[in-house]
Amino acid sequence: MNKQQVVVIATRNKGKVKEMEELFAKRGFQIHSLDDYEGIPEIEETGSSFYENALIKAHYVADLLQVPVIADDSGLEVEALDGQPGVYSARYAGEEANDADNNAKLLRELSQKLTFPSDKLPVGHPPVWSAADFVCCIVLADPARKQHARFEGRCPGYILGEARGHNGFGYDPYFYLPEYGKTMAELTVEEKNKISHRGKALRQLIELVY
């Protein structure tokens, strides 16, 4: 497979890689993540926004490898928590936190600020703890042209007080989608890519560039 058929993604997150593979495979591209290259250190995300963090990661890896690189930064913005955890979604419970730690902290914080906006949902849907949005910003950095492009996606939903489903990663088991009657973790990868924040941003990128 030649270089033009490879897309480099600046991530080691296997869940993100799986989602991106599903979309790019349809166009005949192979995904390479940071796990496919030696000597690339952890990239410190010092930005104050999803865009800034994606920009940092994309340019760092693109300059290092001298090939175009895609990086995304994404997270959860919860209405009842004034937009938190936001850019700290992956490390909400600390730098060494895992998904279980972050979800546990999310539920602890929300348990003190329950809003139950059930009036916004059709009859028969489960009680929810807060409205929320998944947000994604993707940056494609091209070192040869010294340029980058920006793509964004947003997916509205609600936070449940209990986990449902075993697919996905991160906050997916708690992120409820009324139009599906399911959480993100109850969707297949293909279903998730159709409506998710990352899927929306990636489709913009693919349609424009690939």
Q: Which residues does the annotation mark as catalytic?
A: 73
Q: List C-alpha distances in Å: 113 to 30, 81, 92, 162.
A: 44, 8, 17, 16
CA dist list (Å): 43 to 10, 97, 125, 132: 9, 17, 41, 27
Within the chain, strands assigned E span: 6-9, 30-32, 69-78, 128-142, 147-160, 175-177, 182-183
CA distance 97 to 119: 34
CA-angle at 119, arms to 106 and 111, nearest 5°: 20
Task: Kindly report whether the peptide bond that precedes residue 85 is cis, defined as omega within 30 degrees of 0.
Answer: yes
